[in-house]
Amino acid sequence: MESPMDGITRRTFVAALCLVALAVAGLTPTKALAKKGLVVYSARKEQLIRPTIQAFEKETGIRVTLLTGKAGELARRIEIERNNPQGDVFVGTAAGISELLRRKGLLSPHTSRHTRAIPDEFRAADGTWVGVTGRVRVIIYNKDMVKDSDLPTSFFDLTVPRWKGKVAVASMGERTTVSWLASIMAIKGEAFTVQYVRGLKANGLKVLKNNTEVRRAVARGEYPLGVTNHYYFMIQKHEDPTSPIGILYPDQGDGQMGTPMATITVAIVRGAKHLKQAQRFIDFLLQPTGNRLLVEGKYELPLANGVKPVGLEHGVKGLGEFKRAPVTQVQMADFEPLVEKRLGTFLIP
């Protein structure tokens, strides 16, 4: 049986041809990047990763050139450049793209005491990519509209009449939404997940453009509940400390599946021209100094030992303090293409 991951091969190839055409036309700045020191291709926004890079440069003396973009676009660029890699490190926003690159033979393994310290479920078995921070799927709620005693206990409670027209979620344009549904599909199966999403839509689920719109809509009282990632709760708290929002970790009881969790991943490009520097960069991201900067940049969950989560005083939970869904990042990556194929038309703004 064909893996769900194989379904995006043709789309990747077509998009790659488009990028090649742009490069030939001189519109894509691919030349001589490798001459500018360690080159990091990052799907994480520049303002969020730049402080970590600056700290790495200061500690090691290694110069870093940063190129940011969407994860899929950077992955296609890596594929186009496979015979002459210009990038050394790929920072992805979810494991799916990194796993696709691994299966195409475009990543180089790196194993160290720092990568081995990360739980197995958050890294590739062959050492080609590793998670550096975590993103927990939660429900945020407006405290002025919902009492704590009336809160749902599960994602699957959101299809009942009590919550009709009262729940918001980001569209499939957000990889976090895709990863969330991929986790459910990996655990519950395709038929169950499709029926669940249909149930959400039939119950008046409001699909917004992105997670920022979700957290702001809940804070304004437009919707009592929002399905998003835990750090959007903290971003809202930082943006407006008076926001009447709370955070709920669903499916924590006996017999419930637990809360899904995705990771920011990092990998070395196969054929990287600055291999040793790339290895040092990955290890730096997994050490307390580098990992703390990543966590503080967007309130994500630290995976490295010795780094304290941000937001504990507001109800954020650290790794090991909540029940995680029994799904690995590889399993999640496997089901993401199938989620997009089967459910993409349901979750549009």
> How far apart, in whole angstroms, are the C-alpha atoms of residue 220 and residue 234?
15
Model confidence at 27: pLDDT above 70: no
Stronger pLDDT, 126 or 47, i.e. the higher one: 126
pLDDT tier at 35 (50, 70, 90 boundaries)? low
Q: Domain 135-260 belongs to what topology?
A: D-Maltodextrin-Binding Protein; domain 2 (3.40.190)
For 70-80, how does the pLDDT look when each residue is reduced to its tens digit (9 = 90+)?
A: 888 999 999 99
Domain boundary assignment for the chain: 4-134+263-308, 135-260
Q: Region 155-170: what's the mean pLDDT? A: 98
Vertex 107: Cα angle to 183 and 340 (nearest 5): 30
Res 274: pLDDT: 97
Model confidence at 24: pLDDT above 50: no
Number of H helices, E strands in the chain: 12, 11
Q: Which CATH superfamily groups domain 4-134+263-308?
A: Periplasmic binding protein-like II (3.40.190.10)
4-134+263-308 shares its CATH topology with 135-260 = yes
Mean pLDDT for the chain?
A: 89
Looking at the chain, the whole-number percentage of residues with pLDDT higher than 90 is 79
Q: Where are the alpha helices (DSSP H) in the chain?
A: 9-24, 46-60, 71-80, 95-103, 113-116, 175-188, 190-202, 211-220, 230-239, 275-285, 288-298, 329-343
* Contacting residues for 220 by C-beta, under 8 A, at least 6 apart: none
Paired tokens of 199 = 């149930």
Res 214: pLDDT: 98
Res 298: pLDDT: 83
Res 297: pLDDT: 77
Model confidence at 330: pLDDT above 80: yes
> How far apart, in whole angstroms, are the C-alpha atoms of residue 302 and residue 135?
9
Res 124: pLDDT: 94
Max mean pLDDT range (23-27, 238-242, 300-304): 238-242
- Residue found under tokens 């790196």: 110
pLDDT tier at 309 (50, 70, 90 boundaries)? very high
